[in-house]
Amino acid sequence: MKLEWKDGYRVGDELIDQQHQRMFELANAMHDAKDQAELRLAAIRLYQHVREHFADEESLMRKVGFPGYAEHVESHNKMLAALNSVSQSIGRNEAKPDVVSALLMNWTLNHIPFADAQVASYIQGQ
């Protein structure tokens, strides 16, 4: 299942919003992979992007003193662990792109509109 970016996912920080959109593109590249080599490359790109995005988001939260920082970082760590597990499955030729799409669909429906929106709201309130 392909992911579709919606303006309702915006959190109000230009860099974070651009990174979220890129995450959608990379997840869709996994979904569209035509063979195992393409799937591996797409998984590597997605994992690298997500790590970079989380580092930027966590830096922003530290900078503004976001009170929910520890819980937010914990959710990032869980996402990275899940992506790592999927990447390992891909490396063993055992995973399908739909697994990652489902993982990211859950992420977009739960994390971005709630947890990331809380960060944005906190920043706007300062």
Supply the pLDDT for residue 96. 64
Q: Are 121 and 72 in contact (CB under 8 A)?
A: no
Supply the pLDDT for residue 97. 63
Supply the pLDDT for residue 49. 95
Q: Tell me the CATH architecture of domain 7-125.
A: Up-down Bundle (1.20)
What are the distances in angstroms from CA 102 to CA 12, 75, 80? 25, 16, 15
Supply the pLDDT for residue 102. 78
Task: Tell me the one-letter amino acid at 82.
Answer: A
Supply the pLDDT for residue 28. 87
Q: Is the pTM of this model over 0.85?
A: yes
Q: pLDDT in tens for each of the 126 residues of the chain?
A: 778 888 888 888 889 899 999 988 998 888 888 888 898 898 899 999 999 999 999 999 999 999 999 999 999 999 999 888 888 888 888 876 667 677 777 887 788 888 988 998 898 888
d(CA 99, CA 93): 13
